[in-house]
Amino acid sequence: MKPTTHWHLIIIIAVALVSQDSINVECRAHFHKKQKNKGSSSGYPPPSPPQDPAPPSPVLPPPIPSDPSNPPGSSSSNCIFDVTSFGAVGDGSSDDTAAFRKAWQAACAVESGVVLAPSDYTFMITSTIFSGPCKRGLVFQVDGVLMAPNGPNCWPKTDSSKQWLVFYRLDEMTLTGSGTIEGNGEQWWELPCKPHRGPNGSTLPGPCDSPALIRFFMSNNLAVRGLQIQNSPQFHVKFDGCEGVQIEKLSISSPKLSPNTDGIHIENTKYVGIYNSVIGNGDDCISIGTGCSNVDIEGVTCGPSHGISIGSLGVHNSQACVSNITVRNAVIKDSDNGVRIKTWQGGTGSVSGISFENIQMDNVRNSIIIDQYYCFTKGCRNQTSAVYLTDVSYRNIKGTYDVRSPPIHFACSDTVPCTNLTMSEVELLPYEGELVDDPFCWNAYGTQETLTIPPIDCLQDGEPESEGEPSTYCSKSNMPSLQTALPPELANNAIRQYNTELVVDMVRQQFKKHMHETDPEKIQKLKDDAARGLINHMLYESEKMSGRKFSNST
């Protein structure tokens, strides 16, 4: 993979965006196509037939007098910015990106603005960053169909192929609607670089980037509700560097064999609630990466899928910290894993305070699994450090398993045992075929509060012989959260190269040495340095690539 190849383009885009005049629309410009009477007397024409490619002259919204019942400045959410008023065609083939951008800018500028993609239309837009800061209470409402370009051949070469819709630097924003977000992922799944999609079932070498469908980045107090989200080329909904996320009544679906189509992925994100959602896909139903804490998952149905997964963590000897995750009242069916924690060897940090409770398994392989030897290349070396797993409870987990693998599998690190695993009312029976009665444990310590079915006698009582405390605790206080780690104006640029991992690593490297720094001025300087280092690196790479000079040197 060569992430550097896109950088010069990204810089150009960044410059273009920065130099754009900010559009400031007052709330008095009401586009009050009310949702209640949509379709009937709203006076909006049906989608016009496809026309000749129109010149990209800016289509300005018609001036509509303000609604007398909603005087200007009223904060009731009547500031509806219907994308069709901004020139969106919605015929499923016209490129409506410009109209969405304009509607976004208008809605962003008013309190409780609503970007509306109305029902009975199918809008196609290309990869877009909807960025803030915006006025509070912004709503992005999809009642019709909003779809991505159809596969890699239709993906503009200048667009990032890592993500499609990005919501960035927002506070108090809602993504909702009664419509569908369609990823058109099929041709991405079939790329010959995808596992076994090459000639004769081979896997051709990459690069193999495919876009995540919806990404929220460095934003707080988000709600995502009610939508159907389907056929993503890669992850469906992804959050990184966010705090305060409420997900409710989502329906996510992709075929069982679509590669890497995780349903909901979170990383470096705190205070997350995922409720009453139904997810069927080709990879993890929900995946929780490093830097997540205080996550509450309830009423989720997964399947087919690869289950609910914490990890993978600790890749490339990195530090991973995950704590306080609760999964309750879930159904997992026809899945390759049930509830899983996976870490690479050689990592540091910890996973603690994890609770899986009231989970019904239905024909699930590896219903309960801890894998601290996660590796997808051959011959990962045995290493002496590992992410420390502790305080993990499994309560009232019942149902059936696929007998191709043992239903309970605790493969803890050789050098850093798992401690305080609690099993209570775990009863798993074969879906069909013979009982697998040899659960596997390695270096796993904990208690069974009730007899487990199948019986598990490899779980060791008490505490491991002390070989000293694992040297890998996560600092509770001084670990910077991503959004406080970069000053906004620098982050604004840094984000455009989209490689969050790089940002996080840079920040982490800066902070490792200064973990106990308390002087706010010094902390600010560290943040600035981390961001500046990253940006310099980007500039250097992009100049090298393009032979042009972007930086005004220092």
Enzyme catalytic residues: 306
210 contacts: CB under 8 Å, gap ≥ 6? 152, 161, 162, 185, 188, 191, 233, 234, 260
Three-point CA angle 247, 217, 524, nearest 5°: 125
CB 308 → ligand NAG: shortest distance, Å? 15
User: CA 384, CA 471: separation in Å to the nearest integer?
Assistant: 11
CB 351 → ligand NAG: shortest distance, Å? 12
CB count within 10 Å of CB 186 equals 14
CB count within 10 Å of CB 408 equals 30
Q: How many helices (H) and strands (E) does the chain have?
A: 7, 32
Cβ nearer to ligand NAG, comparing 198 with 255:
198
Cβ nearer to ligand NAG, comparing 356 with 431:
356
CA dihedral 494→5→187→117, nearest 10 degrees, is 30
Cβ nearer to ligand NAG, comparing 47 with 446:
446
- Residue 209, judged by CB atoms within 10 A of its CB (0-12, 13-18, 19+), counts as buried
* Contact region with ligand NAG (CB under 6 A), list: 239-247, 290-298, 509-517, 530-538: 290-298
> Is there binding between residue 294 and ligand NAG (CB under 6 A)?
yes
CB 126 → ligand NAG: shortest distance, Å? 33
User: Identity (one letter) of the amino acid at 272?
Assistant: V
Near ligand NAG in 144-203, by CB under 6 A: 199-200
CB 493 → ligand NAG: shortest distance, Å? 33
CB count within 10 Å of CB 455 equals 12
DSSP conformational letter for 137? T
3-state secondary structure of 296: strand
Binding mask 311-350 for ligand NAG (x = CB under 6 A): -------------x--------------------------
> Is there binding between residue 382 and ligand NAG (CB under 6 A)?
yes
* Contact region with ligand NAG (CB under 6 A), list: 112-120, 288-296, 482-490, 492-500: 288-296
* Contact region with ligand NAG (CB under 6 A), list: 102-110, 240-248, 294-302, 489-497: 294-302
> Is there binding between residue 425 and ligand NAG (CB under 6 A)?
no
For the chain, first and last CA: distance in Å?
30
# chain residues binding ligand NAG, by CB under 6 A: 12
User: Identity (one letter) of the amino acid at 347?
Assistant: G
Which one of residues 422, 424, 460, 546 is an interface residue with ligand NAG (CB under 6 A)? 422
Which one of residues 94, 234, 305, 393 is an interface residue with ligand NAG (CB under 6 A)? 393
CB 209 → ligand NAG: shortest distance, Å? 24
Three-point CA angle 268, 164, 10, nearest 5°: 85
Three-point CA angle 310, 315, 316, nearest 5°: 165
Cβ nearer to ligand NAG, comparing 142 with 330:
330
Whether the link from the prior residue into 312 is cis, omega within 30° of 0, is yes
> Is there binding between residue 357 and ligand NAG (CB under 6 A)?
no
Which one of residues 414, 427, 505, 528 is an interface residue with ligand NAG (CB under 6 A)? 414
CB 415 → ligand NAG: shortest distance, Å? 10
414 contacts: CB under 8 Å, gap ≥ 6? 382, 386, 442, 443
Near ligand NAG in 487-526, by CB under 6 A: none
User: Identity (one letter) of the amino acid at 383?
Assistant: Q
Near ligand NAG in 196-215, by CB under 6 A: 199-200
> Is there binding between residue 296 and ligand NAG (CB under 6 A)?
yes
Which one of residues 82, 209, 283, 391 is an interface residue with ligand NAG (CB under 6 A)? 391
CB 298 → ligand NAG: shortest distance, Å? 10
Cβ nearer to ligand NAG, comparing 74 with 324:
324
324 contacts: CB under 8 Å, gap ≥ 6? 293, 294, 295, 352, 353
465 contacts: CB under 8 Å, gap ≥ 6? none
Cβ nearer to ligand NAG, comparing 204 with 515:
204
* Contact region with ligand NAG (CB under 6 A), list: 260-268, 291-299, 423-431, 503-511: 291-299
Cβ nearer to ligand NAG, comparing 9 with 193:
193
Which residues are at the interface with ligand NAG (CB under 6 A)?
199-200, 294-296, 324, 382, 391, 393, 414, 420, 422
